[in-house]
Amino acid sequence: MEKQEWVKRIREEVHKQEGTVNSDPYRQAYHLMAPVGLINDPNGLIKWGEDYHLFFQWSPFKTGHGTKVWGHYHTKDFVHYTLEEPALVPSEWYDKDGCFSGSAIEEQGMLHLFYTGHTEENGEILEEYQASAVSEDGRTFRKQEMLLERPEGITPHFRDPKVWKEGQRWYMVVGAQTEEKRGAVLLYESSDLKQWSYVKRLAEALQEEGYMWECPDFFRLDGLDILMFSPQGIAPDDISFQNTYQAGYVIGRQKGAQWERGDFRELDRGFEFYAPQTFEADGRRLMIGWMGVPDQYEEAHPTLQNQWIHSWTLPRELAWNGERIVQTPIAETKAWRTSELPVSRTETIENDQREVEDINGRVMEVAIDFEQIGDMWAVEMFHEASLSYKKSRNLLTLSRPHPEDAEQTQFRHVQLDKPLKSLHMFFDHSSLEVFVNDGEEVFTSRIFADAALTDLAFTSLGASTFHVKKWDLAPVEIESELS
């Protein structure tokens, strides 16, 4: 199908369905979603000129995965967004079944996209190629004659190029599967962005580390080499690796010709977090993730009936604290607050459960600082989900009804290194992000609570004293070129 035809049909679909999507009480206020259909990975995140360009994996005609296009938002401030026409749609033999994930860079004033051309036969993956497109105006993209085929020893699972520059050279990492069915990250280099040479497998899964590594990202943080990726096939281990697929990172170091790395660590402890991508802007390392996990309860989302599914996380800034990556909401999120001053309360609860005056709402930011914590402290949210802390084990647990069977409760835990001292929580109509102890741990999850409920109930066994602040948050504004 020609690009024009794709855009015309997508426009029609948006027209037809956006009223339905927007009427859904679970529609997010300040988290980006697709205007209709399915959103997954953040792609091509970049600050180009004054604008942050945020592309997204988008399945516009259905609420399932399938043939993907690159949707396209841009913003100067993370408050006012423009939704452009899709940047990339299948149009060539090598991307006929989808323009899959990838990244963006700037070179000589031009915006370059690198993406995966996905092809299938009878519903099975046939081949994947790394391809590129370029734009002068940041709105229309011209596909280039660059095509990378998988190297020897790699199966057709070969995708998600992330490109960056170091000195005068360009580098690319690609997610892959080896013929031994292990996840791997492949490294390429180039001097002109057209001719790429395969360097080596930068990293490869050990026995227990999964059969496919998706969405690799490579960057420096505080002088350290970080390789981030989303592995598939890691088995649950006690409280770790509980989701169907994971997202996390390893720290590495160049030793002679070898790049040596440490253990894989998870980036998030919640139910929905996958395929994060980072980029550098204004001296900051920013990251957005997909608030979803492939093949995990996707059919049970209540939003399917309103023709949409999934959203992104809020944009976060990464830092290294000497031990781990810490994540904090970017400073721009403060502009979402509807008032400068929060509602502020100090509360002591002892062997009791109760609400705290005026600390309620649905689209809000809640910051809690603990002065003392009893044996157990918990907050129950909208009679649906609960976050509880068990002091003797330093264990923080998020629970919610199982999406496929509301009679059952499911749990995600993290064992904190240090006692709980603060929680920074972002609630949207159907999600929760909790930044624990200044972002040392994060829980990212969807929550489909009754839309009419706004109450938080706090519990303490023993005596807990905490300071709590609340801001209501306003929806971001989206000007749509597709409406």
Which residues carry out catalysis?
A: 41
The answer to whether 387 touches 468, Cβ cutoff 8 Å, is: no
Interaction of residue 116 with ligand FRU, rule CB under 6 A: yes
- List the one residue from 13, 85, 95, 160 that touches ligand FRU (CB under 6 A): 160
Of the candidate residues 14, 17, 37, 40, the single one contacting ligand FRU (CB under 6 A): 40
Tell which one of 57, 67, 397, 459 touches ligand FRU (CB under 6 A): 57
DSSP symbols for 49-68 = TTEEEEEEEEETT-SSSSS-
Q: Which two tokens stand for residue 318?
A: 């990464």
CB of 293 to ligand FRU, least distance (A): 9
Residue 199 Cβ vs ligand FRU, minimum distance, rounded to whole Å = 21
Considering the rule CB under 6 A, would residue 97 count as an interface residue with ligand FRU?
A: no
**Could you say whether residue 95 binds ligand FRU (CB under 6 A)?**
no
Q: Does 103 bind ligand FRU (CB under 6 A)?
A: no
List the Cα angle 249/252/258 in 5-degree steps.
Answer: 135
Contacts of 186 (CB under 8 A, 6+ apart): 151, 154, 158, 173, 174, 176, 198, 200, 201, 202
- If the CB atoms of residues 297 and 370 are measured against ligand FRU, the closer one turns out to be 297
By CB under 6 A, the residues from 209 to 268 that bind ligand FRU are 214-215
Cα–Cα distance between 198 and 403 in angstroms, integer?
43
Per the structure block, which two tokens stand in for 403? 């999406």
Q: Least distance (Å) from ligand FRU to the CB of residue 390?
A: 33
Which residue lies nearer to ligand FRU by CB, 211 or 320?
211
Task: Return the number of the residue (56 or 427) whose C-beta is nearest ligand FRU.
Answer: 56
Residue 92, phi then psi, degrees to nearest 5:
-120, 165
Q: Which residue lies nearer to ligand FRU by CB, 247 or 379? A: 247
- Shortest CB 71 distance to ligand FRU, Å: 11
Identify the three-state secondary structure at position 96: coil
Residues of this chain, 340-399, that bind ligand FRU according to CB under 6 A = none
* Binding track over 285-324 against ligand FRU, x by CB under 6 A: ---------x------------------------------
Residue in the block written with tokens 């502009």:
335
DSSP bridge partners of 125: 120
Given the structure tokens 């000129």, which residue do they identify?
A: 49
- Residue 475: both structure tokens together: 């929806």
Q: How far is the CB of 69 from ligand FRU (least distance, A)?
A: 10
Residue 441 Cα distances to 268, 414, 464, angstroms: 7, 8, 21
Question: Taking Cα atoms as reference points, which of 167, 264, 253 lies closest to residue 209?
Answer: 264
- Residue 159 interacts with ligand FRU (CB under 6 A): yes or no: yes
State which residue, 113 or 326, has the beta carbon closest to ligand FRU.
113
* Contact (CB, 8 A) for 161 and 173: yes
Cβ-Cβ contacts under 8 Å for 483 (sequence gap 6 or more): 14, 15, 18, 35
Rule CB under 6 A: which residues touch ligand FRU?
A: 40-41, 57, 68, 100-101, 116, 159-160, 214-215, 274-275, 294
